[in-house]
């Protein structure tokens, strides 16, 4: 109630002077002046001229000026509306419906209005088509040349299709297709399941018989072949360096590991592409870890080295056993 009963003390002229404006200014000028003065006199501002009383006077003047501008705008718009409707106002409310079209009873005027709408829609369609044709043929020579080239391409494509169709018909007339198996017979249904569309199943079967494979299967095969090749290559590189490794060999092994990490990073990008196209969530793949793969390569190398050493010891033990077995057999013969 206190806010609703608030009345500013300043009059209009004093309010314009407080805002440092003149009467007849625009609303944007009033707002800009108020913002500048508020920044200047607001108590919370860092300005050296901050004053709460001056800020209150500026705010009151701003409200008075806004009210004055709103009243002037309202009075101007009301006079324009009155002038606008003085000559166009209808004498009877009855003719305000149906856009003032037709004469007679309301039902007759409704029919006349519907016909008027149909005629108006027809005229709008004709105007739209005319504008579209004008815009199409009002283009530059470049657009016309592009249309000519495109029409030539279409004509060439149609000519090739007609030639191929003529060759097929000629071959059929000669009897080149008579020796085909299953001529004149319908395609066999490859599945008797009632839940599968026969046409879709037949198309899939034809694609499979002709060697077609989905993209995700090809990607999966490529990823598996790539990781196997990388694993074999890093194990082979480790075997070439030997055990124990010297300082140059350690540097060379570091370079091999860096190249292996780069190859794994590229392979993980292929894994991301595979996960985007695979239709089954359970078939998605996880990223390959560089550290785990290097550790796996070291274990594989150690297993290979142990296997080679064990086979060497077995061969040596077999030769010694043969020699001692010959001596023991000779001693036994002498005793006998």
Write out pLDDT tens, residues 259-307.
999 999 999 999 999 999 888 888 899 999 999 998 998 888 888 888 8
Residue 224 confidence (pLDDT): 93
Q: What is the pLDDT of residue 315?
A: 58
What is the longest distance spanned by two Cα atoms in the chain? 154
Instruction: Give the 3-state secondary structure percentages of the chain, helix then strand then coil, rounded to 5.
Output: 75, 0, 25
Please report where in the chains the tokens 């009301």 appear, as a residue: 78
**What's the confidence (pLDDT) of residue 204?**
77
pLDDT of residue 92: 46
Domain that holds residue 286: 215-309
CB 165 within 8 A of CB 173: no
Residue 142 belongs to a domain: no
pLDDT value, residue 87: 47
**Residue 5's pLDDT is what?**
47
Number of Cβ within a 10 Å radius of residue 28:
8
Measured CA to CA, the distance from residue 159 to residue 169 in angstroms comes to 15
Q: So what's the pLDDT on residue 326? A: 64
Q: What pLDDT was estimated at residue 327? A: 63
**Amino acid 316: pLDDT:** 59
What pLDDT is stored for residue 314 in this prediction?
60
Q: Are 238 and 298 in contact (CB under 8 A)?
A: yes
State CA 51 to chain mean position distance.
Answer: 56
> Is residue 38 packed enough to be buried (19+ CB in 10 Å), middle (13-18) or exposed (0-12)?
middle
Domain boundary residue, one of 31, 47, 73: 73
pTM: 0.36
- Among 50, 73, 96, residue at a domain's last position: 73
Does residue 97 fall inside a structural domain?
A: no
Residue 24 lies in a domain: yes
How many structural domains does the chain have?
2
pLDDT in tens, 143-160: 666 777 777 777 777 778
Domain of residue 16, CATH code: 1.10.287.110
Residues in the chain where the model's pLDDT stays below 50: 1-6, 85, 87-94
CA distances from 318 to 261, 307, 315, 321, 324 (A): 44, 17, 5, 5, 10
Using the 3D structure, point to which of 29, 55, 73 is the last residue of a domain.
Answer: 73
């Amino acid at each position: 109630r206190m806010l609703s009963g608030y009345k500013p003390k300043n009059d209009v002229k004093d309010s314009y002077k407080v805002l440092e404006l003149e009467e007849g200014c625009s609303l944007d000028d009033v707002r800009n002046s108020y913002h500048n003065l508020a920044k200047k006199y607001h108590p919370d501002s860092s300005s050296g001229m901050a004053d709460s009383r001056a800020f209150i006077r500026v705010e009151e003047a701003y409200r008075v000026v806004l009210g004055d501008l709103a009243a002037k705008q309202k009075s101007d718009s009301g006079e324009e509306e009155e002038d606008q409707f003085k000559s166009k106002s209808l004498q009877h409310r009855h003719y305000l419906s149906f856009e003032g079209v037709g004469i007679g009873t309301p039902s007759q005027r409704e029919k006349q209005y519907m016909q008027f709408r149909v005629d108006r829609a027809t005229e709008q369609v004709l105007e739209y088509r005319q504008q579209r044709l004008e815009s199409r043929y009002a283009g530059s020579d470049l657009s016309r040349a592009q249309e000519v080239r495109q029409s030539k391409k279409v004509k060439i494509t149609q000519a090739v299709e007609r030639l191929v169709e003529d060759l097929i018909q000629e071959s059929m007339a000669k009897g080149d297709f008579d020796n085909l198996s299953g001529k004149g017979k319908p395609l066999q249904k490859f599945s008797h399941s009632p839940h599968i569309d026969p046409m879709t199943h037949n198309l899939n079967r034809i694609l499979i018989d002709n060697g077609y494979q989905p993209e995700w299967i090809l990607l999966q095969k490529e990823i598996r072949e790539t990781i196997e090749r990388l694993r074999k290559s890093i194990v082979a590189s480790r075997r070439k360096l030997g055990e124990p490794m010297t300082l140059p060999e350690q540097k060379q092994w570091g370079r091999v590991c860096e190249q292996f990490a780069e190859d794994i990073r590229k392979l993980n990008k292929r894994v991301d592409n595979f996960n985007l196209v695979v239709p089954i969530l359970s078939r998605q793949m996880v990223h390959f870890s560089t550290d785990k793969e290097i550790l796996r390569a070291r274990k594989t190398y150690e297993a290979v080295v142990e296997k080679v050493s064990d086979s060497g010891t077995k061969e040596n033990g077999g030769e010694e056993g043969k020699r001692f077995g010959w001596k023991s057999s000779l001693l036994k013969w002498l005793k006998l």
